[in-house]
Structure 1
Amino acid sequence: MTALASALATHRRAQFVREELRLAGADEARLEAARAELHATRSAIETPRVLVAILVPVLAPAADAAAQASYALRGAPDADTLAALRQDAISATKAFVAAAAHHFA
């Protein structure tokens, strides 16, 4: 559970930074560096997400929702939308953690 929550937070941050750069019109070299980090952080989500789905299937919907909320930052049309999507992703991760805590309580 903690590995997934951590991976989600790392990916959300990388996605936010990459989108901020894109919206600010950053040069291609900076975008490419951010994109490379983004791919690595997205890959880091999959192993713990799949483990949650296999070992605790009742938590899979919350895990998937948190992952999808992090992915949703991509392509935000403006900074305000990006900030709102970031908050949605934070909330989805918190909901996953709360569901896991409830399940294991």
Structure 2
Amino acid sequence: MAVREDLRLSGADDQALAVARAESHAPRSAIESPRVLVSILVPALAPAAERAARVVYALRGAPGTATLGARRETAIEAADAFTAAAARHFA
């Protein structure tokens, strides 16, 4: 999603945006299915999984590249926090 938003912010043409939008649908599925499974199977990890998914979706609609970069960092941190929570849970 970060690539798609970067294209949007840089004024890419409609075709490039359409291709990037289509490509972003696969990661969305890759995010949602595991998030739902984790929430059902390991409820203690649901908040961390939800936060990780939510901050990835927050990449959309960033008003500028600085905000996009900050949101990307937040998404990486949330994914790392989820991994750490899972490691603690299963330790």
| TM more than 0.5 | yes
Q: How does 1:11-90 map to 2 (within 5 A)?
A: 15-90=1-76
Q: Runs of at least 4 residues of structure 1 off by over 3 A?
A: none
Deviation at 1:84, TM superposition (A): 0.2
- 1:30-74 per-residue CA deviation (whole Å, 9 max, x = no partner) reads 000000011221122121111101110000000000000000010
Name the SS of the counterpart of 2:52 in structure 1: helix
One-letter amino acid of the counterpart of residue 64, structure 1: E
Paired residues in the alignment total 91
TM-score (norm 2): 0.97
Calculate the aligned-residue CA RMSD, in Å. 0.7
Paired letter, 2:81: A
Which protein has greater RCO, CA pairs closer than 8 Å, 6+ apart? 1
